Amino acid sequence: MLEDDEEEDVVSFEHYRFISDKGQTPVRVDKFITSHMEKTSRHRIQLAIDAGYVLVNGKRAKASYIVKPLDIITIELPYQRRGMEIRPENIPLDIVYEDDDLLLINKPPGLVVHPGHGHFSGTLVNALAFYLGISQDENAPDERMGILVHRIDKNTSGLLLVAKNDEAQFDLARQFFDHTIDREYVALVWGNLKEDSGTITGNIARDPNDRMRFKVFSDGSLGKHAVTHYKVIERFGYTTLVSCRLETGRTHQIRVHMDYIGHPLFNDDRYGGDKIVNGTFYTKYKQFVDNCFELLPRQALHARTLGFTHPKTGERLFFESPVPSDMLSVIEKWRSYSHYKR
């Protein structure tokens, strides 16, 4: 588990596989699965079946399917964190949109999304528990805080989607899984990109030499398929402001892909962006960069836009979050510096 980061724009699923006994008596597949899965309600299983997450012998199953001997049943469920006490905490939330089914949060930098190793309180989930009036002990029979549809890093700012009920979670998770969610990030990266736009493709997996990092395996030998589309917004000579659109959502995807092509995110201490990558080594330039690092003590990455289909109404919704002040101040400094150097 990463100590200080969440997974970048990842939708996680739990995977289960069951094989019915030779002497299996006839029973509906929803009842069969419920009897084999602890702390998971039949309602949630039925939602998974309706969403196409349950397969019997490799084919999509209906809830009325009768399980036969030696059937192979596989199921995916949007991830729910269990076995952890969730204490409500009065932490302010910047709510961009809310209705009976979902919340859209503008997450500030520095806020951890989920409780975990080293962060048992002060997280977005603790804030949501307070706001929604939900608490949970570690022995809760049915997880009620598994409402986050996706996650972004602690030090990444921007839009985060939250489902208020199981129906909304399953629908929105399916949209992420099917890559029908529109996601755009703004990033400040080191260097002057050769092309005005491009696509980065490369499998991403944990670095075997450093478990805190992820890396690209271009030969496809390891990792998960990942695709990032980028477009230059503005050039500052030694740095570039880019827009990144995710076709997939892998851990640290933008950070890893930009580092892979030689343009790590500005002040990304995990991928080498927290030192001078491009430019001179004159004292004044070093002082300028150090000042920028102080103004923006995190990677320069912001989840700016999010578009999705409402799980109940079917309406296509689109939201935008302004780039936060810490990142804006550094962008302006680089803009002024580039004009000065001309």
Residues whose CB falls within 8 Å of the CB of residue 321, separated by 6 or more in sequence, listed in order? 96, 106, 157, 158, 159, 302, 303, 304, 305
List pLDDT tens digits, range 232-280: 999 999 999 999 999 988 889 999 999 999 999 999 999 999 999 999 8
Strands (E), the chain: 13-19, 54-56, 59-60, 72-78, 95-98, 102-107, 157-163, 182-190, 197-201, 203-207, 210-217, 227-235, 239-246, 301-309, 316-320
- Whether pLDDT at 1 is above 70: no
Of residues 12 and 120, the one with the higher pLDDT is 120
Q: How many CA atoms lie within 13 A of 187 on its CB side?
A: 33
pLDDT, averaged across the chain? 88
Average pLDDT over residues 37-48: 79
Tokens of 224: 């998960």
Percent of the chain clearing pLDDT 70 (strictly above): 89
What is this structure's pTM?
0.81
List pLDDT tens digits, range 154-176: 999 999 999 998 889 889 988 98
Q: Which residues pair with 199 in a beta bridge?
A: 229
pLDDT at position 176 is 87
- Whether pLDDT at 38 is above 90: no
- pLDDT-based confidence at 142, cuts 50/70/90? very low
CA angle centred on 181, ends 110 and 225, rounded to 5°: 85
- pLDDT-based confidence at 7, cuts 50/70/90? very low
Question: Strand 197-201 vs strand 227-235: parallel, antiparallel, or unpaired?
Answer: antiparallel
pLDDT at position 133 is 85
Average pLDDT over residues 145-159: 83
- Whether pLDDT at 192 is above 90: yes
- pLDDT-based confidence at 144, cuts 50/70/90? very low
Average pLDDT over residues 91-119: 89
> Which residues are marked as active site?
153
Most confident of 84-93, 115-124, 317-326: 317-326
Write down all domains in the chain, each with its CATH number in brackets.
Answer: 13-78 (3.10.290.10), 180-342 (3.30.2350.10)
